[in-house]
Amino acid sequence: PRYPSHWQLAEYLQAFAAHFGLNGLYKMQTEVVSCRRQDHAEHGWTITYRPVGSDAGAERTLQVDAVVMCVGQTCAPSVPSYPGQDTYRGQVLHTSQYRGQAPFQGQRVLVVGAGAASGTDVAQDLSFGAKQVFLSVRRGVILLPR
């Protein structure tokens, strides 16, 4: 699908980890509390974390050689506010909430921002069903097929 559900994404990541032998090398349902670089230590980083969800518990630490920061579909959306937004009667949503073009059939839709491709992906998907799609960007952008 163009926009996988969180279940589909989780299944894909689990299959990926199993295929490449990564199970046991990462932690799910975990909040990173701090990440500190250690000078002159055997391991370069000290990670403080805490389990969340059903396994919630006390903070723990982990010594690691490297840190990889991965953000994207699982991050908290940043939704700016605009003058008049409180009186606007239309729908406002972040690309992280977009599940497909069906609810927008026959409507005029404004997509604000290209994002890291997410805005342009949504605008393209909407073009197959919405009456009109407008893409508003701060600076010029070149749209190329993938």
- In tens digits, the chain (146 residues) has pLDDT values of 666 766 788 889 889 999 999 998 888 788 899 999 988 767 789 999 998 877 788 999 999 888 887 765 556 777 788 899 889 998 888 888 888 889 999 999 999 988 666 888 889 889 999 999 999 988 877 777 66
51: which 2 tokens? 């389990």
What DSSP string runs through 37-51? EPTT-SSSEEEEEEE
Mark whether 99 and 143 lie in a shared domain: yes
CA 121 from chain centre, in angstroms, equals 14
Mark whether 81 and 144 lie in a shared domain: yes
Mark whether 17 and 50 lie in a shared domain: yes
* Total domains, the chain: 2
Mark whether 81 and 40 lie in a shared domain: no
pLDDT, position 73? 55
pLDDT, position 121? 84
In a domain, 1, yes or no: no
Of the candidates 105, 115, 111, 107, the residue with the CA atom closest to the CA atom of residue 141: 115
In a domain, 69, yes or no: no
Give the end of a domain, one of 19, 37, 64. 64
**Over the range 99-119, which residues count as b (16 or more CB within 10 Å of their CB) and which as e?**
eebeebeeeebebeebeeebb
Mark whether 58 and 82 lie in a shared domain: no
With beta carbons less than 8 A apart as the criterion, state whether 81 and 105 touch. no
Write the CATH number for 96. 3.50.50.60
**Over the range 50-60, which residues count as b (16 or more CB within 10 Å of their CB) and which as e?**
ebeeeeeeeee
Mark whether 135 and 85 lie in a shared domain: yes
Distance separating alpha carbons of residues 74 and 98, to the nearest angstrom: 13
What sign does the dihedral 59-61-62-65 (CA atoms) show? positive
In a domain, 70, yes or no: no
In a domain, 88, yes or no: yes
Domain hosting 128: range is 77-146
